[in-house]
Amino acid sequence: MELNGTAAIVSGSASGLGEATARELAAAGSQVVVADLNEQQGKAVADSIGGVFARTDVADEQSVQAAVDVAASLGAPLRVIVNCAGIGWAARTVGRDGTPHDLAAYRKVIDVNLIGTFNLMRIGAAAVAKTEPADADGQRGVIINTASVAGLEGQTGQVAYSASKGGIIGMTVPAARDLAAIGMRVNTICPGIIDTPIYGAGPAADEFKAKLIAPVVFPKRMGTAAEFAHLVRALIENDYMNADVIRFDGGIRFQPK
Ligand SMILES: NC(=O)c1ccc[n+]([C@@H]2O[C@H](COP(=O)([O-])OP(=O)(O)OC[C@H]3O[C@@H](n4cnc5c(N)ncnc54)[C@H](O)[C@@H]3O)[C@@H](O)[C@H]2O)c1
C-alpha cells in the first residue's frame, strides 16, 4: 500500500508508539488524524506533523465515529487505521493479601484495550469500504493493531492486561477474513519492552526498566518507538502481509516470577 496521498488514523498517538507511528506515516506522505484522549499532547503532535487532532476515547462509539468522520473528510482517501491506544494494569487474580482482583479495573482494561481496538477497527473499516480500490489487487486499506507479547505468553501480575492483548491477537485472523471482502488487510504487532512514557520517568522508572531488559536476548536494550513505527510502515507497505501476529521483542520470553 502506497502511503503517499492517503489519510490515516492512529489511536493513542499523543504519546509513545502511536506518536512515533503518526510521525512515520506523515513523513511517508499520509495525512494523519491523531486520535487520543490527551488533548494537549495530541494537539502538539498533530501540529508538528501537519495532521489533525481529534479528541477520542476509543471505547466510546460516538467518539470514534466522530474521529473517523474527520479522517474520511480530509480529501485524501482513508486507507490506514493503526490501533495504539492502550492502558496497563498490574494486579494478580488474588493479591498477596488475599484480595480478589478488582472487577471494575479488569473491565476497564478490557474496555479500552480490546473493545477500543475493535471499535476503531469496525468503524474505520466501514469508512475505508466507501473508498475506491487503490491498486490492481483491489486493495482499499490496512489495519495494524498493537497487542503485546503478554497476550501470547502471559505476564505475571498482569492478568487483565494479558487477557486484553490476547483478545486482540484472537481477533486478527477473523477480522482479516471478514475484511478481505472489502480489500483490507489486518496485522497485529506484539511488542516486548519498548521505551515509552508508559513506564514513567525518573530514577525509579530507570531502575524498573533496567530489570525489564534482563530477559531480552539481543540487542540487550529496550526497543525504541521509532523501531516500532518502522515495522508498522513495513507492514503497511508490504501487500502480502496479512492476518499475521508479529513479535517485536528482541527475542524476549516472559518467565514466571
Ligand atoms: N511500551 C511497551 O513496552 C509496550 C509493550 C507492549 C505493548 N504496548 C502497547 O502499545 C500501546 C502503546 O503504548 P505506549 O507504550 O506508547 O504507551 P503510552 O502511554 O506512551 O501511550 C498510550 C496512549 O494511549 C492513549 N490512550 C489511553 N487510553 C485511551 C483511550 N481510552 N482512548 C484514546 N486514547 C487513549 C494515552 O492518552 C496515550 O497517549 C499500548 O496498547 C500498549 O499496551 C506497549
pLDDT, residue 255, reads: 82
Instruction: Answer whether residue 112 is part of any domain.
Output: yes
pLDDT, residue 254, reads: 84
Instruction: Answer whether residue 142 is part of any domain.
Output: yes
The number of domains in the chain is: 1
Provide the annotated active-site residues.
161
Residue 22: pLDDT band (50, 70, 90) is very high
Alpha carbon of 15 to ligand 1 centroid (Å):
7
Cell triple for 200: 514513567
Residue span of the structural domain in which 37 resides: 7-247
Q: What is the mean pLDDT of residues 71-86?
A: 98
Ligand 1 atom with the smallest distance to the CA of 112 is: 31
Instruction: Answer whether residue 1 is part of any domain.
Output: no
- Residue 98 belongs to domain with CATH number: 3.40.50.720
Q: What is the mean pLDDT of residues 201-213?
A: 91
Q: Is the pLDDT of residue 51 over 80?
A: yes
Alpha carbon of 112 to ligand 1 centroid (Å):
10
Instruction: Answer whether residue 252 is part of any domain.
Output: no
pLDDT, residue 194, reads: 97
Distances (CA, A) of 107 to 37, 115, 117, 122: 18, 10, 14, 20
- pTM for the predicted model, two decimal places: 0.98
Q: Is the pLDDT of residue 109 over 90?
A: yes
Instruction: Answer whether residue 2 is part of any domain.
Output: no
**Which residues approach ligand 1 with their CB closer than 6 A?**
11-12, 14-18, 36-38, 56-59, 84-87, 112, 116, 146, 148, 191, 193-194, 196-198
Alpha carbon of 11 to ligand 1 centroid (Å):
9
pLDDT, residue 256, reads: 81
* pLDDT tens for each residue of 216-257: 999 999 999 999 999 999 999 999 999 999 999 999 998 887
Instruction: Answer whether residue 138 is part of any domain.
Output: yes
Question: pLDDT exceeding 70 applies to what percent of the chain?
Answer: 100
Instruction: Answer whether residue 231 is part of any domain.
Output: yes
pLDDT, residue 20, reads: 98
Q: Tell me the average pLDDT of the chain.
A: 97
